[in-house]
Amino acid sequence: MDTFDSLLTTMPIADVASAFWDSTLPGQAIVILLFLGSAAAWTIMWTKGTELRFASASSTEFLTAFRAGANPVSLHLRAEDHAGSPLNTIYKDGCRALEAELQAQGLHVAEMGDSVSDSYRRLTLNQLEALRTVVDRNVADEALNLENQMGLLATAVSAAPFLGLLGTVWGVMDAFSGMAISGSAALSAVAPGISGALLTTIVGLLVALPSMIGYNMLSAHIRRISVQMDNFAQEFISEIQNTYVREG
């Protein structure tokens, strides 16, 4: 116990509260702004991480159900819904576009059931390309939705260190200006001001480092889901082609 107490007394533990009150008003404002930015960054990381985990789990369930059907529109006919999965949104819009094309050819999707027949081959290659455009557009829209609020997190990563540096430079400048005005070159005259100035750099780094780690992890997760969406779009269009497009 004595060893632990002596270790605590010898450790250079900074008095953050004293440093904050010793800093100038601009420095205090920057520290408060950084704390607010940190709260916003952690909120974004928590909500976005929860959203992406749910999207991944829902997408896995959706793919399992989609591949289990004999017909590409089996899930659409059964009105199955996998909320939270971007693949589900892409699939629904693609099925609605397919349904409109088939109805124009005199074939009603609701009458087909969960089966595959050569009589379903009513679409041309031009109509297939139109469906591909619809699916690709929805893939792009879902990718943008996944990127929502990531720009704010990237701003926290890049801006926090510079805000901290601004507060430090401003505080050091004020400290040396005060020393010049007082005419004292003693370290005790400038130490409190410099300590308060350095606090902004510390806070800026404490905001930027977790935000950078969270941003990289979330970006990697978004890339995985985006690749999954692209793969599903190709698989879905391929299934439509094999089932509904006329040969020759």
pLDDT of 114-134, one tens digit each?
A: 666 666 677 888 888 999 999
Residue 95 lies in a domain: yes
Residue 43 lies in a domain: yes
**What residues make up the domain containing 164?**
21-244
**pTM for the full predicted model:** 0.81
Residue 162 lies in a domain: yes
Amino acid present at 209 = L
- Could you tell me if residue 106 is left (phi over 0), alpha (psi between -120 and 50 degrees) or otherwise beta? left
> Which residue did the predictor score with more confidence, 110 or 242?
242
Residue 11 lies in a domain: no
Distance CA 155, CA 41 (A): 9
The answer to which of 12-21, 112-121, 154-163, 165-174 has the lowest mean pLDDT is: 12-21
Residue 4 lies in a domain: no
Total number of domains in the chain? 1
pLDDT tens, position by position, 190-202: 566 677 777 788 8
pLDDT of residue 105: 74
Burial class (CB in 10 A: 0-12, 13-18, 19+), 162: exposed
Distance CA 112, CA 118 (A): 12
For residue 220, is pLDDT > 90?
Answer: yes
Percent of the chain at pLDDT > 70 equals: 76
Structure tokens at 16: 């953050």
Residue 168 lies in a domain: yes
pLDDT tens, position by position, 30-80: 888 988 989 999 999 999 999 999 999 999 999 999 988 778 888 887 877
Residue 184 lies in a domain: yes
